[in-house]
Amino acid sequence: MQTINITAHTEDASQIEAIKAVIKAFKIKFSISKITDSAYNLKLSLVFLKLLIRLTTLILWL
């Protein structure tokens, strides 16, 4: 199993719940930690967006 780190810049708790629901639907193990560093990491955010796009595409194909 490979571990990846994903940073999501959410605006409220409902966005976190939506992300968790998608990841749970694909039966992917995950953990959430709160990061207090306010530095914006664009590379990780783009990786996260690509992951969400791929997951959404998979859902649409089902």
Report the distance separating Cα 57 and Cα 22, nearest Å: 12
Single-letter residue type at 27: K
17-56 pLDDT, tens digit each:
888 888 888 888 877 777 655 555 555 666 777 788 888 8
Q: What is the pLDDT of residue 5?
A: 78
pTM, 2 dp: 0.51
> What are the extents of the domains in the chain?
13-61
Q: What is the pLDDT of residue 38?
A: 52
User: Residues 6 or more apart from 30 whose CB is under 8 A from it?
Assistant: 20, 23
User: Residues 6 or more apart from 52 whose CB is under 8 A from it?
Assistant: 19, 22
